[in-house]
Amino acid sequence: MTDRILVLVRHGQSEWNLKNLFTGWKDVDLTEQGIAEAKKAGARLKAEGLKFDVGFTSNLKRAQRTLEIALQEMGNTGIPIIKNVALNERDYGDLVGMNKDDARKKWGEEQVLKWRRSFDIAPPGGESLRDTIARALPYFVQEILPRVLRGERTIVAAHGNSLRALVMVLEKLTPEGILKRELSTGVPIIYRLNADSTVAGKVDLAA
């Protein structure tokens, strides 16, 4: 039987996560904690006995470094790594670089909450979660999923919101359901898929 393995992992803590800033497409690096989270992700995957054939990531270094560090920790380097803007984090537009508390003072708690947690309301100049899903999901279906279904063990290191697009389709979540779904930094989720791309099993490697 073909082993159809797909692992999703949100990047480790970034410098702007630490500072409580809206990050979006700003290309910030990992913190020391983020590096440790990426190493821990690799160690957890190694303990599961996994080896990957291909990796996917975004155009942003915090996701790329998370993938690189995790694979090094596994002794699983040298595989093809495919980078694409479709897996980038949601673009927060005018909020990028702003402290979340300052944004609440400027626009009010309720408005900022709508931008952060509604499905289809975008911040000024940015993307809603629906917009992010609209670019990430076709890429997943066209480029990533076929490899998984062919039996290539695949790891995707990306961002909270771009990964939500993948989780939404894999777990058949509603727009309301995906809004409530939190993805922790550096914690891999292992999916085993059936031949028809439905989920046969899921393991969340949270501590």
Residues catalogued as catalytic: 11, 89
Contact indicator for 148, 6 with CB cutoff of 8 Å: yes
C-alpha span between 2 and 9 (Å, rounded): 22
Over the chain, what HEC string results? CCCCEEEEEECCCEHHHHCCECCCCCCCCECHHHHHHHHHHHHHHHHCCCCCCEEEECCCHHHHHHHHHHHHHHCCCCCCEEECHHHCCCCCHHHCCCEHHHHHHHHCHHHHHHHHHCCCCCCCCCCCHHHHHHHHHHHHHHHHHHHHHCCCCEEEEECHHHHHHHHHHHCCCCHHHHHCCCCCECCCEEEEECCCCCEEEEEECCC
